[in-house]
Amino acid sequence: MDSAERILQQLRQRGERITIQRRMVIEALCEDCDHLTINDIQKQMESRGYELDEATIYRILQWLKAAEVISQTDLGARGIVYELIGTKRHHHLVCLNCHAVIELDDSFADQLREQVRHEHDFEPRVDHLAIFGWCAQCRAAKAATKN
C-alpha cells in the first residue's frame, strides 16, 4: 500500500471525512516527500490536472496538521513549509544570513519535550522545529570584516 492510501485509511478509521479535495492534497504531499510550500503543492496538483485555490489548500493543510499527519514550519527565506510527519522526523537550524538549512535528528528535541511535560504539565508536539541563528561560516565572515 502506498503512503497516501495508508494515510487515508488512518484518517477514515479515526472518523475523518475524506473529500476528493482532501485526497488530492494528501496525494500531492506523498508524491514529493519533502518540504513543500502551498505553491509547491498547488503546482504538483496542477501537473496532475487538478486545480485548487490557495485558501482551500491552506484549510486542508490545517486539518492535516490538527490530525497530526503533517508538520508546519516557517523556514524563513524558504517560507512556510509542510511535510509529512511520518517520513523522517527531524528539525532544522536556519542561518539568518546565508539561509543555509542544517538538518538535526529528532533526538535533539527529546530533552525539550521532557522539560515541557514536567515543568509546564503540557504535552508538546514538537514535529519540525526551525531554530534561526548564525552559521559558523557567516560568523567567521562577520568577525573578519570587523578587523
Binding site for Zn ion (CB under 5 A): 95, 97-98, 100, 135, 138
Of the two residues 57 and 81, which places its CB atom closer to Zn ion in the complex?
81
Of the two residues 9 and 97, which places its CB atom closer to Zn ion in the complex?
97
What would the 3-class secondary structure string for the chain be?
CCHHHHHHHHHHHCCCCCCHHHHHHHHHHHHCCCCECHHHHHHHHHHCCCCCCHHHHHHHHHHHHHCCCEEEEECHHHCEEEEECCCCCEEEEEECCCCCEEEEEHHHHHHHHHHHHHHHCCCCCCCCCEEEECCHHHHHHHHHHHC
Of the two residues 8 and 36, which places its CB atom closer to Zn ion in the complex?
36
CB of 123 to Zn ion, least distance (A): 22
Of the two residues 60 and 135, which places its CB atom closer to Zn ion in the complex?
135
CB of 68 to Zn ion, least distance (A): 16
CB of 37 to Zn ion, least distance (A): 13
CB of 38 to Zn ion, least distance (A): 16
Contact 92, 103 (CB under 8 A): yes
